[in-house]
Amino acid sequence: MGEPTIGDIYKARSIVYKYLKPTPLYYNKQFSDEIGAEIYIKFENYQPIGVFKVRGGLVRISHLSDEEKSRGVTTASTGNHGQSIAYAARTFGVKAIIYAPEGSNPDKTRAMKNLGAEVVLTGKDFDEAREACEKRAVQDKLVYVHPANEPYLLHGVGTIGLEIYEALPDIDMFICPVGGGRSCCSNAIALKSLNPKIQVIAVQAEQAPAVYKSYKANKLLTHPSAETFADGLATRVAFEYTFNIMRKMIDDVVLLSEEEMESAIVRLLDTTHNLAEGAGAASTAAAFKYADRLKGKKVVLLLSGGNLTREKLSEILNKWKDI
């Protein structure tokens, strides 16, 4: 698989914009004053499935041949990637089977079913669900869409970077969450191809640090568990395709505690009146935790998604009512 290019991302935009509109990018004065930087937020929670990944799903499914469409597709997901494939499959009239771990976010599971996908709950975590999905793909001759090692997914998601650059070509830094790596990798390619001076910082959960450990060691590593409420960050492994891009394109990977992501959800809700899930709030949490690195800079934070359950939101609001 070749690495995505800026040309690939521009081509993907023509597909993405047949079905989606650009998302808002707003200056946030309160965060700017508190951090001492010029802070903007890219609101991907405005997508029809509430998360950025739909961009990549549409591009991937649009490239299926007629024969592949007739076979149907399958993928593994904790919820958001599955929604993106389900949405795209419905758009193009393709059968979709989504594998998700037992105990997955029920709102995301319900959303995948409402989008027409068959949902199979199996395994204690994402990686066990992925392994079961891969076996099913071989057994039933389904088209397997890997959650990270898929160039077309990156081509679509990289259109976020195009939108940011066209609105703010002189930013100094882009901060984004990292799970499988498609967001940070694709947008690093888009932004750095257009302005090589832009720094890209990826953010991961302390309780699911496989990418962080791999990046710091400069080799693929695993972590025995991924016990974070931020399911978009919950993987025990780093993936070879996106990791090889990260090593060249990402300027740093940093870690956050569960509490730091929770408090950022409350900050975003209070300040922007937008709901962020754990991964969606990670960039904001990192901006406050590492504020000294942002001083005087123009920074874009990616609010990658807003698919948080009512139960988790209530728990967080009760816990952080005095923030």
What CATH number is associated with residue 297? 3.40.50.1100
Chain mean pLDDT for the chain: 96
- List the domain range (segments joined by +) for residue 305: 6-51+151-320
For residue 315, the model assigns a pLDDT of 96
**Quick one: pLDDT band at residue 322, thresholds 50, 70, 90?**
confident
| pLDDT surpassing 90 at residue 304 | yes
Mean pLDDT of 291-307: 98
Q: In terms of domains, do 220 and 248 share one?
A: yes
For residue 17, the model assigns a pLDDT of 98
Query: 141-172, pLDDT tens digit by residue?
Result: 999 999 888 999 999 999 999 999 999 999 99
Strands 38-43 and 25-27: antiparallel
- Total domains present in the chain: 2
Q: In terms of domains, do 17 and 64 share one?
A: no
- Where is 254: in which H helix or E strand? strand 252-256
Domain C-terminal end among 99, 116, 144: 144
Asked if residue 1 belongs to a domain, the reply is no
Whether 59 contacts 53, CB under 8 Å: no
- Where is 320: in which H helix or E strand? none
Asked if residue 139 belongs to a domain, the reply is yes
Q: What percent of the chain has pLDDT over 90?
A: 90
Domain C-terminal end among 98, 116, 144: 144
Whether 277 contacts 306, CB under 8 Å: yes
Residue 119 Rama label (left phi>0; alpha psi -120 to 50; beta): beta
Query: 91-115, pLDDT tens digit by residue?
Result: 999 999 999 999 888 999 999 999 9
**Quick one: pLDDT band at residue 236, thresholds 50, 70, 90?**
confident
List Cβ neighbours of 143 (8 Å cut-off, separation of 6 or more).
64, 68, 71, 72, 73, 74, 137
pTM higher than 0.85: yes
Mean pLDDT of 256-277: 98
Query: 184-203, pLDDT tens digit by residue?
Result: 999 999 999 999 999 999 99
What are the beta bridge partners of residue 43?
303
For residue 147, the model assigns a pLDDT of 87
Whether 103 contacts 229, CB under 8 Å: no
* Lowest model confidence (mean pLDDT) among 8-17, 231-240, 251-260: 231-240
Q: In terms of domains, do 27 and 172 share one?
A: yes
Q: How far apart are the C-alpha atoms of 241 and 257, rounded to whole Å?
A: 27
Which of 84, 123, 119 is closest to 103 using CA atoms?
Answer: 123
Mean pLDDT of 241-250: 95
| pLDDT surpassing 80 at residue 254 | yes
Query: 201-211, pLDDT tens digit by residue?
Result: 999 999 999 99
Q: In terms of domains, do 137 and 182 share one?
A: no
Sign of the dihedral defined by the CA atoms of residues 270, 276, 280, 281, in that order:
positive
